[in-house]
A and B are shown apart, each in its own frame.
Chain A
Amino acid sequence: MIRSAYFHQVAEAEIPALSAEPLDVVGLLSQAHHPAAGAVVLFSGEVRNHNQGQSVDYLEYEAHEVMAIKMIAEILADARAKWDLKIALAQHRIGKVTVGETAVVVITASAHRGEAYEANQYIIHRIKHEATIWKCEYFSDGAKKWGGNCSCCEPVQ
């Protein structure tokens, strides 16, 4: 068993905001420790096998990469300005992502859990709704649909 105290601390700036390869959720978490953080929150957005009554085979993510990378960096910077975060990082898949795979990871760490939870929600909400990234759903019946999104339309404070 690996003990978290032995993990390396994350070099957030070195983690690319977009990845065409499967996201290493465990690897990212293993780096997300900070001596001043008593709380680490990890959100993993995963591809589920259904949406609005239809069976989903896989998703395909397209991005305007330059702007998406810039926007994710800005969102993380905004979160750091709002909360006292020891760690804030996010990584989003592009390309084909199959059921059960992770499409996006957000990790936040702070002294106490309240800030880490709030900041994590804020970051994922803004990434979903603002970053220049789009999903296309491919259904089991052969149909496809762009932009089917989540049910989280209420703005985050």
Chain B
Amino acid sequence: MKIQVFAVLKEYFDKEFELANDIKDIGELKTRLSCLNQEADGVLNISRFAINNEFVNSDHAIQAHDTICIFPPSSGG
């Protein structure tokens, strides 16, 4: 699976990277990312996740070829 992160999350991870396809759902992905960089834990917990331009919840199942976008809280305007 491919991961894309935005805004402040780029200070903790590469903008785009790949992870092994053994992660079942978004909740597990969040845990895996927190393990990769514990400093990102706080931001990850308030971030939104999207697949195919739709927001998904923690229990959303991840398919092998999904690209998952991770959005920290918005700060437009």
Contacts and interface: CB of A to CB of B under 8 A. Distances in A.
Interface stretch (A6-14, A23-31, A76-84, A144-152): A144-152
Interface string A60-76: 01111011101000000
A133 B53 contact: no
A134 B77 contact: no
Contacts of A70: 53
Contacts of B50: 64, 67
A33 interface: no
Contacts of A127: 76-77
Nearest to A128: B77
Interface in A25-65: 45, 61-64
Interface residues of A, number: 28
A112 interface: no
Consensus secondary structure, chain B interface: loop
Interface residues of B, number: 14
A131 B76 contact: yes
A70 B55 CA distance: 12
Interface string B35-73: 000000000000000100100000000000000010111
B7 A128 contact: no
B69 A61 contact: no
Contacts of A129: 73-74
Nearest to A72: B76
A67 B74 contact: no
Nearest to B7: A134
A21 interface: no
Contacts of A104: 76-77
A134 B6 contact: yes
A128 B74 contact: yes
A124 B74 CA distance: 12
A103 B77 contact: yes
A133 B75 contact: yes
Contact of A64 (B6, B73, B77): B6
Contact of B72 (A63, A147, A148): A147
Contacts of B8: 134, 146-147
A63 to B, nearest CB: 8
